[in-house]
Each structure stands twice: as structure tokens, then as C-alpha cells.
Amino acid sequence: MKDRFGREIDYIRVSVTDRCNFRCIYCMPEGGVVPKTCADILRFEEIARFLKAIVPLGISTVRITGGEPLVRRGIVDFVRMVRRIPGVKDIAMTTNGSLLAGIAADLKRAGLDRVNISLDSLKPERFRRMTRNGDLKSVLNGIDAALENGLEPVKINCVVIKGFNDDEIMDFADLTRERNLTVRFIELMPIGESEKARMDFVPADRMSRVIGGELEPVEYPGEGAGPAVYYRLPGAKGYIGFIAPMTGHFCSQCNRVRLTSDGKLKVCLDSEEEFDVKAALRGGACDEELRRIFTGALMKKPEGHRMNVVRFGKPGRTMCQIGG
């Protein structure tokens, strides 16, 4: 399925909850967000029903997100539901990793292929400050469990923020030397809390200069290369990637849409336009009607984001409410 700009859309990010056990400074207010009620959130069966309707249009990759997806009960059963949908080739999950150690084996058996783990500091006290309550050790245990259970490639997503963690870039890069980890450095996007707090992103080219001339450009061999540009340190087992939404402008290759936990389809992370899937599902829509909503939404997918433009007015959803 192609949008009006000829981009092949084959990837959907599905948020299963807006709740999270962390309060990361750039993602969620310190007091959290007002949580949706159970009635507001799509049931797993409803999400699976929507996926079954649209997968025949060419969707092959499903990424499960939150909030923190592992805080939702029944998440293993949901992975199993998605695995049973004909045409789904790749199931991934983005998680903060803090709850992963105890459930990684079950997720793998249910059909999860791989995980991305959000981790922005390797210093325990700084990590606690950035997450406002997080325990670094639990996340490191989650990374170990992901590797041990073959949820590979295991990617570490590190949002680099000026004055917060930009002094740890080399520490993260060194993780790839002895372990099969892919560390991806991400430019901070002005969405939700990061915009309100006026946090400053570090350009990807500056990140790469910190690591220096050791970086060797490579073609990424694993699943889900996405918008990152990949490199490798000489002799390293893992990979290093840079994701540059602010300076890289990779919208021309965007292949994804998002379904929020409360049942809204978003065709661009930066757009406030949403399409109501929940109302259609609960109103008795047939598969063909669901497909019409999906294809109609794709035709309104913008050519690119406008995050570099100064905007005023009411802020949109936080990242945890969108699903990243």
C-alpha cells in the first residue's frame, strides 16, 4: 500500500497503554498523565481485529509500544494473537526494559522477534534522575535477558540531550565492542515535555564526531534498520546507529503509521490529525470499512514533519500518549 507520495507503508506501531512505570524527563510530566480508563483503551481483541483487516494491504511489521507495554496485563497473550495473523512477518517491541528480565522467555515463545530498549544513561544516579524513579540494574538485567532469549537484534535507543547525557556517548558506543548490541543515538524531538522544558537536542553529526574516526560505515544486517544510518567500531560485535529526525529529514522514506492506545490512527508522529478506529470497531464496522478508514488516512499522510518550525498554542499529546 502506497501513500500519495509513493511511499510504501508496511509498518504499524501499536501502543497498548499510555501508562508507564518511569517518568522520563523528556517524555512524561513528573506527576504522569491522566490515565485512560479501561473503556477508553482498545481491548487486545479489538487491536487484533483491526490488524487482521489491514495486514492484507501490505502491513508486515507490527511494533508494540506504550507507555511501557510490559505494564499491561496479558501482553504475552497479545503477542501470541498478533503472531497468528497471516501476513505478519515481524513483531517487535519498544520497552524501557525494567520488567523484561522476568518475561523475556515467555515473549519469545509467544512469537516476539526482537526488542528495542530505551536507555539514556549508564550512570545509576543520573538514570534515576532522568527517569525520576528508575533502577538502572533492572534495565541492564532486561538487556541480558533479551540477548539470552534471542530477541535479536537487541537495540538500545539513547536520546541524546545537551547538558544531560551528551557526555556518555562514548560509553554507549563501547557497549558494542564485546556484545551483539545495536546502540542507536537519537536526536531529541520537540514533542510534549521536551518542547515545554526547552530541552536541546544534539545534532547527529556532533554525536558521531565524539566517537571519532574509528566509525566504519556499514549496511545493517539485522531486521528493522529503519531511518538510522549505521556504523561499526573496528572489531566490534555490535553496531552503532544515528537517527536524525531534526537534521536528517528522512520523511521521504517513512514507511509507518501509529495506532494509539485509545484507538486513534496517526499517520505522522508530528501531526495532530487522528482517525478514529475505536469508534468504527465498536460501531460494528466490517473489515472493508476498516480498510477504507486506513487507506483514507494514508492519503492524508503529510510529505514531512514540521518539527523544525516554531509553533505556538496548545501542546499536543506527550510521547507516551502517542506511542513513539
Distances (CA, A) of 81 to 48, 160, 301: 7, 35, 28
27 annotated to bind ligand: yes
Q: Is 155 annotated as a binding residue?
A: yes
- Check the annotation: does 11 bind a ligand: no
Give the other-Cβ count within 10 Å of 313's Cβ: 5
Q: Is residue 320 marked as binding?
A: no
The answer on whether 286 is annotated among ligand-binding residues is: no
Region label for 58, one of left (φ > 0), alpha (ψ between -120 and 50) or beta (otherwise): left
Known binder of ligand: residue 63?
Answer: yes
Cα gap 271→305, rounded to integer Å: 7
The reply to whether 258 sits in an annotated binding site is: yes
* Cβ-contact 43, 71 below 8 angstroms: no
Question: Any residues with CB less than 8 A from the CB of 204 and at least 6 apart, and which?
Answer: 185, 187, 229, 242, 243, 244, 247, 248
CB 172 within 8 A of CB 158: yes
24 is in an annotated binding site: yes
Contact predicate 216/231, CB 8 Å:
yes
Grid coordinates 480498510 are at which residue? 291
Report DSSP letters for 53-100, one per residue.
HHGGGT--EEEEESS-GGGSTTHHHHHHHHHTSTT--EEEEEE-STTT
The reply to whether 118 sits in an annotated binding site is: yes
Beta bridge partners of 95: 117
Which amino acid, residue 226?
Answer: G
115 is in an annotated binding site: no
Q: How far is the C-alpha of 12 from the C-alpha of 263, rounded, in Å?
A: 13
d(Cα 42, Cα 52) in Å, to the nearest integer? 15
Set of cell numbers at residue 166: 551528551
Is 158 among the annotated ligand-binding positions? no
Binding-site residue positions: 13, 20, 24, 26-27, 63, 67, 94, 118, 155, 189, 251, 254, 256-258, 268
Binding-site residue positions for GTP: 13, 63, 94, 155, 256-258
Binding-site residue positions for [4Fe-4S] cluster: 20, 24, 27, 251, 254, 268
Binding-site residue positions for S-adenosyl-L-methionine: 26, 67, 118, 189
